[in-house]
Structure 1
Amino acid sequence: MLELARDKDWGRLPELEARCSAIVDRLRVIESTGTLEVVEVERVLYLLDRIRVEQTEVSDLIKPQLDELISRMGYLSQQKNLGRAYGLTH
């Protein structure tokens, strides 16, 4: 996901986010069962931490894109309202 976000390949991110969430949920379940060896617990904790760090970076990369989208949507809404107010059609 991080590589896609760095490359601004936004189309595949939702699918990968869903897969990542499922993996995190599984890791949390595995961690909480208490049946893992110490090394395995450490590996699960390492993976969870790495996912958290990378998700933070992905969020930092996505936020400006979302802000731009919100800004554009606001502009389009304003243009539509002006068109209605002055009887303009597109």
Structure 2
Amino acid sequence: MADDTLLEFYEAIERASEDMLQAARDGDWDRVVKLEGACAVLISQLKHAASGRELDAQEARTKSKIMRRILQNDAQIRNLAEPWLEDLDRLLAGSPKSVH
């Protein structure tokens, strides 16, 4: 397996994180969850593909840049999700414990 393929996994994860961010901006949390599942599959595939592989210095720098962008997207998604999660916490705290 070529190391380019490893970078392609990182790029695919970045694209998925960008799609998740857009869905979060749109308030489409169902889509965020679906894309999060797709990211998990890509990450699992990347872990398998990366086993025993090392990137050269340039590829490692490219990976680092991609990872920073993914982390920035994730931080923005979390910022968008926090008010929604706080609302959910308040709703659940005020609702009866039994479910009919």
TM-score after normalising by structure 2: 0.62
Q: Please report how far the alpha carbon of residue 19 of structure 1 lies from its aligned counterpart in structure 2 after TM superposition.
A: 2.2
Q: Percent identity?
A: 25
Larger radius of gyration: 1
Ranges in structure 1 where 5+ consecutive residues have no aligned partner: 81-90
Partner SS for 2:96: helix
Ranges in structure 2 where 5+ consecutive residues have no aligned partner: 1-19
Aligned residue number for residue 30 of structure 1: 50
Larger RCO (alpha carbons 8 Å, 6+ apart): 2
RMSD: 2.6
Aligned in 2, Cα 1:32/1:2: closer, same or farther, shift over 3 Å? farther
Aligned ranges 1:44-83 → 2 under 5 Å: 44-77=63-96
Count of residue correspondences: 78
Structure 1 outlier segments of 4+, above 6 Å = none
TM-score after normalising by structure 1: 0.68
The answer to whether the Cα contact below 8 Å between 1:24 and 1:48 also exists between their aligned partners in 2 is no
